[in-house]
């Protein structure tokens, strides 16, 4: 659980790095699990965003990834409902009800592991009340050299920002240079929680070691999605803690809408041009 001071910090800055949420030996076991899973994958895709090329000075970088790792290995499923994680997730959302949106396993390979440009996660899957956040679980050390995640403290208070859509939603680098962000180096077992409105990015892994993280995106089930831009992730809607007070009302509204129904669910209340695009691995 977060202390009152930590929760205040989150409310002020839109992020909190929770030290030692998991033990280093648990993180080490998940690191092995992660690398084994990526080695097993038949279809190995590079998740590098086209919009990150500028950050890497035109250098070719790569990013290993697996969406929905909990469908490949039960070790990930256990983490999803681990109360050490879900208690903090509920605290940052401000509700005991925590619902899965999606997960992404990333390994930034040594020497040229891909960076991420400055962005909010909001344009990929906008929700009505913005009760959506991410937790990045660190399975090995993440330093500035390894391309750790970087955040702009307090940026979530600006609300949704206009993004450039090309090459995955990202902010204009002239207005949002990466230097505006602060690095969040982490040890194995540390978890970084941040709002989907928090501006964040990450650097190139120029070190000799891979950086291994698992990102879990979660929401308040009572916060209706504004579009159906991201409904493809496996297990979306699974309850990680508490209950869904809508009894899957939003999911059935979206399904009816997708079938051309008239319930006015996701897809009819869009956010202009940002909503429908499905670029990038978010």
Ligand X SMILES: O=C(O)CCC(=O)C(=O)O
User: Which residues in this chain contact ligand X in the complex, by CB under 6 A?
Assistant: 104, 106, 116, 121, 149, 200, 202, 213, 215, 282
Query: Smaller CB distance to ligand X: residue 95 or 202?
Result: 202
- State the greatest distance between any 2 C-alpha atoms of the chain, in Å, as a whole number: 55
- State whether residue 102 is helix, strand or coil: strand
Kindly provide the b/e burial profile for residues 239-261, where b requires at least 16 CB atoms within 10 angstroms of the residue's own CB.
ebbbebebeeebbebbbebeeee
Residue 19 CB-density burial (10 A; 0-12 exposed, 13-18 middle, 19+ buried): exposed
Considering the complex, what minimum distance in angstroms separates the CB of residue 6 from ligand X?
Answer: 22
Could you say which DSSP state residue 216 is in? E
CB of 91 to ligand X, least distance (A): 21
Q: Which residue is nearest to ligand X (CB)?
A: 202
Nearer to ligand X by C-beta: 72 or 196? Answer: 196
| Smallest distance from ligand X to CB 120, Å | 9
Least distance between ligand X and beta carbon 47 (Å)? 8
Closest CA to 116 of 154, 167, 191, 68: 167
> Is 121 or 228 the residue whose CB approaches ligand X more closely?
121
Query: What is the smallest separation between the CB atom of 7 and ligand X, expressed in angstroms?
Result: 23
Closest to ligand X by CB, 183 or 242? 183
Q: CA-based Rg of the chain, rounded to a whole angstrom?
A: 18
Q: Is 125 left (phi over 0), alpha (psi -120 to 50) or beta?
A: beta
- The DSSP-derived string for 126-142 is -BSS--EEEEEEESS-B
Nearer to ligand X, 121 or 220 (CB): 121
In the bound complex, what is the minimum distance in angstroms from residue 11's beta carbon to ligand X?
21
Give 80 or 216: the residue with its C-beta nearer to ligand X: 216
Q: Which are the contacts of 272, defined by CB distance < 8 A and separation ≥ 6?
A: none
């Amino acid at each position: 659980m977060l202390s009152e001071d930590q929760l205040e910090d989150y409310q002020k800055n839109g992020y909190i790095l929770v030290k030692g949420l998991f033990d280093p030996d648990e993180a080490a076991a998940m690191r092995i699990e992660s690398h084994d899973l990526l080695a097993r994958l038949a279809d190995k895709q590079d998740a590098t965003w086209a919009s990150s090329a500028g950050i890497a000075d035109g250098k070719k970088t790569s990013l290993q990834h697996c969406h929905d790792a909990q469908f490949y290995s039960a070790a990930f499923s256990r983490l999803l409902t681990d109360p050490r994680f879900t208690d903090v997730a509920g605290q940052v959302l401000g509700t005991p009800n925590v619902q899965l949106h999606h997960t992404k396993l990333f390994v930034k390979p040594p020497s040229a592991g891909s960076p991420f440009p400055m962005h909010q996660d909001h344009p990929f899957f906008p929700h009505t009340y913005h009760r959506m956040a991410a937790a990045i679980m660190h399975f090995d050390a993440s330093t500035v050299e390894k391309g750790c995640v970087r955040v702009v403290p307090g940026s979530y208070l600006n609300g949704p920002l206009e993004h450039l859509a090309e090459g995955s939603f990202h902010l204009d680098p002239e207005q949002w240079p990466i230097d505006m962000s602060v690095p969040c180096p982490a040890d194995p077992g540390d978890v970084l929680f941040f709002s989907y409105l928090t501006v964040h990015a990450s650097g190139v892994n120029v070190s000799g070691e891979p950086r291994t993280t698992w990102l879990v995106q979660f929401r308040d089930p009572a916060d209706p999605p504004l579009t159906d831009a991201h409904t493809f992730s496996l297990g979306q809607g699974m309850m990680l803690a508490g209950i869904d007070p809508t009894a899957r009302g939003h999911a059935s509204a979206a399904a009816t809408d997708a079938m051309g129904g008239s319930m006015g669910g996701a897809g009819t209340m869009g956010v202009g041009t940002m909503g429908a695009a499905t670029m990038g691995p978010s």
